[in-house]
């Protein structure tokens, strides 16, 4: 019985606030995205649509702000003087940052969004009742809600054949967001288990990272010190956990930052600043 | 003129049988305006039901919601109705405990307002759910899968708080009506007699029953006050517990409670004017009571204004760039017109309540009270919408004005509330008969005592001046007329 479970394991459930999240992580998946080599081609976004059964909502609903792009390439402009104002364009691929202290989690009334031992912020579609509080409390605004039932419109026969069988198609009234391609993580874990070997760097590659023509997106496990992403994080002096002090950028080479780090949500995605040579 | 007579809220010479007859007559033959209002309410409700059926079938997108605006007017309306519900508790419980006698003729309908506005408010979190058919997952029922709701979520607290408040205030309303039910049982015929016979729970009005009744009533009143305050504090934590700019504000709980009392008092004023007219209650809902309600509303309005200004100041001087930017955007951005409406209706209009001429003029009070409530409604909207429109992530900034579906449901909620309320006042006495009698009784005694003292003083004076012409003491009975 569940009540018995709570009483018996009370010390486990009664975690102090500082511990937060999970005590025992098995992995902590993370990303490093180099904005300097990102060309804003949107290949990652397209790959995500294909991989995760994301509906194409059509022009009208896109304009109404009801698009379902788990990964959106945001474009910002710097005002730049000179002959080439296009130089001022800045692209940033924005997906769920799989925050270590995710603000979306505590507010869900039915605990449909929770933290996995992999360091992921998981969304249980079947549990979601669509209160949308999680999305309101996500500073990155990367949660997408099924405002309509898209199944009929987005995949008319025979397009249904293209759906990825590894995950469901969500119906109206359910929240969804980037999962770090959890089905790929699952498959890779199963495979490594079958082969009786530990998971190694490169076993998992997310659809967006795979599609990126310039290899701007690096995915991996920060608990594995040998992984590419760990090395990148270490090189750019980004650490897990809350921000304690303002980072000093002694070196031009150190370009790493996490979006909204000052909110202490501990995002799992590190971005590398774009280097702009205005002299050219 | 003596203070007691000047402030007297009701004519103390009303006979008890008159009171019974008047109240019972009001339940049987209201003015035609009552039926018109009823028809309008049903029509409004019909719009909402049609809109809700559409939204249920096709999804929340039909309300025009989108990525930054996951909540919009539905939640604002929810907060508005929850706020309305606080006035009933204020009038019936708080004023009961502090022995403010003037509440007696009007507290019944204020209490009914509490119950019905809670019933309206409770609908909104439901219809705004994406999958409303799974609503019961919010409740902690024992399931063999060992799944519980997330007790850290303010929405779960909401579910507890609102259901507790609704059941207690309905109980309070019912218990307060028992002696009246018995009067009605004795004075009506046909189905009404049977109906009230069941509801009065065998009330005979003997000494023991009265004593138990008073004790229960007091106990419930004491229980209800902290409950009312906690309910709106919990509703405010829906916002205050988040990290969004403009929501994450520590003064929200008192601010929400003050706002709730404010809009509730304004609603009482509106209903006061309406009921007074519909049911020809001029003798019971007197102008003096209206004046007192107005003064109370003004005091609460000032508290609310103060808390609002504090919030602005805290945002302005606290160096949180997101919060500050949002505040500036509210005042100058796309929502500016709505924001300034809120400032005008909520902070400036209440000053009209300072004028006695206006306080005693029913049509202008109707307009003022509706303006105040308009201000409070847009206040709630100004809490919900701009934060979503201009939060941390500038890429997702967007302004939303809702679609027909959303407006229809919000609009229809007023119809639903009105319908419940109008049915209530037709079925149950909207003026508490036994308490009005009590009020008359006390008043009579007070006046008699005063007259007595006056005569005494005059006599003493006359004795002192030893036959100095005519007696200076007038006839106080004449002045009271
Ligand atoms: S980015 Fe948003 S949705 Fe993703 S974990 Fe963080 S708060 Fe939650
Ligand atoms: S990690 Fe997977 S789900 Fe997340 S944005 Fe990339 S492709 Fe989409």
Among B60, B71, B393, whose Cβ lies nearest the Cβ of A139? B393
> Cα distance from B155 to chain A (closest Cα, Å)?
6
Q: Looking at residue B465, what is its pLDDT?
A: 62
Domain extent at residue B128: 30-442
Average pLDDT along chain A: 86
* Secondary structure (H, E, C), B40-87: HHHHHHHHHHHHHHHHHHHCHHHHCCCCCCCCCHHHHHHHHHHHHCHH
Domain extent at residue A94: 3-272
Distance A113 CA to ligand 1 centre (A): 10
pLDDT at A97 over 90: yes
- B465 lies in some domain: no
Query: A141 and B396 in contact by Cβ < 8 A?
Result: yes
* pLDDT single digits (tens) B74-124: 999 999 999 888 877 777 788 877 777 777 778 888 888 888 999 999 899
CATH number at residue B49: 1.20.1630.10
Residues 235-264 of A with CB under 8 A from B: 260, 263
Choice from A140, A206, A271 to test ligand 2 binding pocket (greatest atom count within 8 A of CB): A206
Residues 37-66 of A with CB under 8 A from B: 61, 64-66
Among A65, A137, A265, whose Cβ lies nearest the Cβ of B67? A65
> Cα distance from A133 to chain B (closest Cα, Å)?
8
Q: Which ligand neighbours the alpha carbon of A268 most closely?
A: 1
Angle at B186 between CA B180 and CA B190, to 5 degrees: 110
- B17 lies in some domain: no
> Cα distance from A63 to chain B (closest Cα, Å)?
10
Query: Contacts of residue A20 in chain B, CB cutoff 8 Å?
Result: none
Query: Contacts of residue B76 in chain A, CB cutoff 8 Å?
Result: none
Query: Contacts of residue B125 in chain A, CB cutoff 8 Å?
Result: 131
Q: Whose CA is nearest to atom 2 of ligand 1?
A: A138
Q: Say if A146 is an interface residue toward chain B (CB within 8 Å).
A: yes
Q: Whose CA is nearest to atom 7 of ligand 1?
A: A138
> Cα distance from A100 to chain B (closest Cα, Å)?
15
pLDDT higher for B115 or A9? B115
Query: Contacts of residue B130 in chain A, CB cutoff 8 Å?
Result: 128-132, 145-146, 172-175
> Cα distance from A148 to chain B (closest Cα, Å)?
5
Residues 5-24 of A with CB under 8 A from B: 5
Tokens for B177, please give them. Answer: 């009506």
- A279 lies in some domain: no
> Cα distance from B60 to chain A (closest Cα, Å)?
5
* pLDDT single digits (tens) A138-172: 999 999 999 999 888 889 888 888 899 999 999 88
Query: Contacts of residue B58 in chain A, CB cutoff 8 Å?
Result: 148-149, 172
Query: Does residue B76 contact residue B380 with C-beta atoms inside 8 Å?
Result: yes
Distance of CA B24 to the CA centre of its chain: 24
Query: B131 and A130 in contact by Cβ < 8 A?
Result: yes
Q: Looking at residue A88, what is its pLDDT?
A: 80
Among B70, B134, B238, whose Cβ lies nearest the Cβ of A129? B134
Burial class (CB in 10 A: 0-12, 13-18, 19+), B313: exposed
The Cα–Cα gap between B392 and B88 comes to 39
How many residue pairs from chains A and B have C-beta atoms closer than 8 A?
154
Q: How many CA atoms lie within 13 A of A193 on its CB side?
A: 6
Q: How many domains does chain B have?
A: 1
CATH number at residue A226: 3.30.70.20
Choice from A143, A259, A271 to test ligand 1 binding pocket (greatest atom count within 8 A of CB): A143
Q: Say if B100 is an interface residue toward chain A (CB within 8 Å).
A: no
Q: Which residues of B318-327 are buried (b: 16+ CB within 10 A; e: fewer)?
A: eeeebbebbb
Q: Say if B201 is an interface residue toward chain A (CB within 8 Å).
A: no
Which stretches in chain B have pLDDT values below 50?
Answer: 1-2, 467-481
- B477 lies in some domain: no
Q: Looking at residue B77, what is its pLDDT?
A: 92
The Cα–Cα gap between B281 and B302 comes to 30
- A194 lies in some domain: yes
Q: Which residues of A41-53 are buried (b: 16+ CB within 10 A; e: fewer)?
A: ebbbbbbbbebbb
- Ligand 2 within 6 A of A95 CB? yes
- B476 lies in some domain: no
Q: Looking at residue A219, what is its pLDDT?
A: 94
Among A5, A129, A139, whose Cβ lies nearest the Cβ of B130? A129
Q: Looking at residue B472, what is its pLDDT?
A: 43
Sequential DSSP letters for A80-101: --SS-GGGGEEEEEE-----TT
- B479 lies in some domain: no
pLDDT-derived band at A15, boundaries 50, 70, 90: low
Q: Looking at residue B109, what is its pLDDT?
A: 84
List the single best residue of A65, A74, A112, A149 to mutate versus B (max B Cβ within 10 A): A65
Residues 210-239 of B with CB under 8 A from A: 238
> Cα distance from B133 to chain A (closest Cα, Å)?
8
Query: B142 and A2 in contact by Cβ < 8 A?
Result: yes
- B467 lies in some domain: no
Q: Looking at residue A245, what is its pLDDT?
A: 57
Distance B191 CA to ligand 1 centre (A): 60
The residue of chain B with its CA nearest to that of A102 is B243
| ipTM exceeding cut-off 0.90 for this assembly | no
DSSP conformational letter for A259: T
The label of the residue with tokens 């702009």 reads A276
Query: Does residue A113 contact residue A123 with C-beta atoms inside 8 Å?
Result: yes
Phi-psi map region of A183: left, alpha, beta (phi>0 left; psi -120 to 50 alpha):
alpha
Q: How many domains does chain A have?
A: 1
* pLDDT single digits (tens) A65-81: 899 999 999 998 888 77
- Segment A216-227 mean pLDDT: 92
With CA atoms as reference, report the closest residue to B19 among B79, B76, B104, B113.
Answer: B104
Radius of gyration of chain A (CA): 20
pLDDT at A96 over 90: yes
- A13 lies in some domain: yes
- B471 lies in some domain: no
pLDDT-derived band at A279, boundaries 50, 70, 90: low
Q: Say if A130 is an interface residue toward chain B (CB within 8 Å).
A: yes
- B16 lies in some domain: no
Choice from A104, A137, A139, A258 to test ligand 1 binding pocket (greatest atom count within 8 A of CB): A104
The label of the residue with tokens 């949180």 reads B320
Query: Contacts of residue A2 in chain B, CB cutoff 8 Å?
Result: 142-143, 145-148
Q: Looking at residue A19, what is its pLDDT?
A: 53
Q: Say if A133 is an interface residue toward chain B (CB within 8 Å).
A: yes
């Amino acid at each position: 019985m569940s009540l018995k479970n709570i009483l018996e394991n009370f010390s486990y459930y009664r975690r102090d606030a500082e511990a937060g999240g999970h005590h025992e992580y098995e992995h902590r998946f993370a990303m490093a995205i180099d904005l300097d080599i990102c060309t804003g081609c949107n290949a990652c976004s397209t790959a995500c649509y294909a991989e995760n059964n994301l509906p194409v909502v059509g022009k009208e609903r896109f304009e109404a702000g009801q698009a379902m792009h788990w990964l959106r390439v945001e474009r910002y402009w710097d005002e730049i003087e000179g002959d080439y104002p296009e130089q001022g364009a800045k692209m940033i691929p924005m997906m769920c940052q799989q925050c270590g202290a995710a603000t979306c989690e505590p507010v869900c009334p039915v605990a449909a969004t929770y933290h996995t031992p992999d360091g992921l912020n998981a969304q249980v579609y079947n549990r979601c009742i669509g209160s949308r509080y999680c999305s309101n409390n996500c500073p990155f605004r990367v949660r997408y809600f099924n405002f309509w039932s898209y199944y009929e419109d987005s995949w008319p026969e025979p397009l249904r054949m293209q759906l990825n069988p590894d995950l469901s198609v969500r119906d109206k009234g359910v929240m969804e967001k980037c999962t770090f391609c959890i089905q790929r993580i699952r498959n890779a874990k199963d495979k490594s288990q079958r082969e009786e070997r530990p998971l190694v760097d490169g076993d998992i590659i997310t659809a967006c990272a795979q599609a990126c023509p310039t290899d701007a997106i690096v995915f991996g496990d920060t608990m594995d010190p040998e992984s590419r992403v760990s090395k990148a994080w270490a090189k750019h002096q980004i650490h897990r956990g809350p921000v304690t002090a303002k980072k000093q950028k002694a070196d031009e080479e150190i370009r790493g930052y996490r979006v909204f780090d000052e909110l202490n949500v501990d995002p799992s995605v590190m971005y590398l600043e774009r280097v702009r040579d205005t002299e050219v | 003129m003596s203070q007691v007579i000047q402030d007297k809220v009701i004519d103390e010479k009303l006979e008890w049988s008159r009171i019974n007859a008047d109240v019972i007559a009001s339940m049987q033959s209201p003015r035609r305006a009552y039926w018109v209002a009823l028809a309008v309410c049903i029509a409004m409700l019909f719009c909402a039901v049609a809109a809700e059926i559409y939204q249920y079938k096709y999804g929340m997108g039909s309300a025009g919601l989108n990525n930054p605006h996951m909540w919009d007017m539905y939640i604002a309306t929810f907060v508005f109705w929850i706020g309305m519900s606080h006035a009933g508790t204020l009038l019936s419980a708080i004023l009961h405990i502090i022995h403010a006698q003037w509440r007696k003729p009007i507290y019944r309908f204020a209490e009914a307002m509490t119950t019905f506005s809670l019933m309206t408010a409770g609908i909104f979190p439901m219809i705004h759910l994406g999958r409303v058919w799974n609503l019961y997952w919010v409740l902690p029922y024992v399931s063999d899968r060992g799944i519980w709701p997330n007790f850290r979520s303010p929405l779960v607290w909401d579910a507890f708080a609102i259901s507790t408040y609704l059941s207690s205030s309905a109980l309070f309303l019912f218990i307060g009506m028992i002696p009246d039910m018995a009067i009605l049982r004795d004075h009506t015929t046909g189905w009404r007699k049977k109906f009230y016979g069941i509801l009065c729970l065998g009330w005979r009005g003997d000494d023991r029953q009265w004593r138990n009744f008073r004790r229960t009533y007091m106990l419930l009143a004491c229980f209800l006050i902290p409950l009312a305050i906690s309910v709106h504090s919990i509703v405010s934590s829906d916002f205050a517990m988040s990290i969004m700019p403009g929501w994450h504000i520590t003064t929200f709980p008192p601010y929400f409670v003050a706002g709730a009392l404010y809009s509730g008092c304004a609603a009482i004023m509106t209903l006061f004017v309406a009921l007074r007219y519909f049911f020809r209650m001029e003798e019971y809902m007197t102008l003096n009571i209206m004046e007192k309600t107005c003064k109370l509303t003004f005091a609460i309005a000032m508290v609310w204004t103060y808390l609002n200004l504090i919030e602005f100041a805290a945002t302005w001087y606290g160096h949180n760039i997101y919060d500050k930017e949002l505040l500036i955007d509210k005042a100058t951005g796309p929502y500016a017109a709505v924001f300034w409406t809120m400032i005008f209706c909520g902070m400036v209009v209440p000053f009209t309540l300072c004028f006695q001429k206006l306080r005693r003029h029913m049509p202008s009070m109707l307009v003022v009270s509706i303006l105040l409530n308009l201000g409070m409604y847009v206040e709630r909207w100004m809490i919900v919408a701009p934060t979503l429109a201009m939060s941390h992530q500038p890429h997702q900034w967007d302004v939303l004005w809702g679609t027909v579906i959303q407006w229809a449901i919000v609009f229809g909620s007023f119809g639903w509330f009105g319908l419940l309320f109008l049915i209530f006042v037709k079925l149950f006495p909207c003026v508490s008969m036994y308490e009005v009698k009590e009020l008359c009784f006390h008043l009579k005694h007070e006046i008699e005592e005063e007259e007595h003292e006056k005569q005494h003083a005059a006599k003493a004076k006359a004795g002192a001046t030893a036959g100095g012409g005519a007696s200076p003491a007038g006839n106080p009975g004449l002045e009271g007329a």
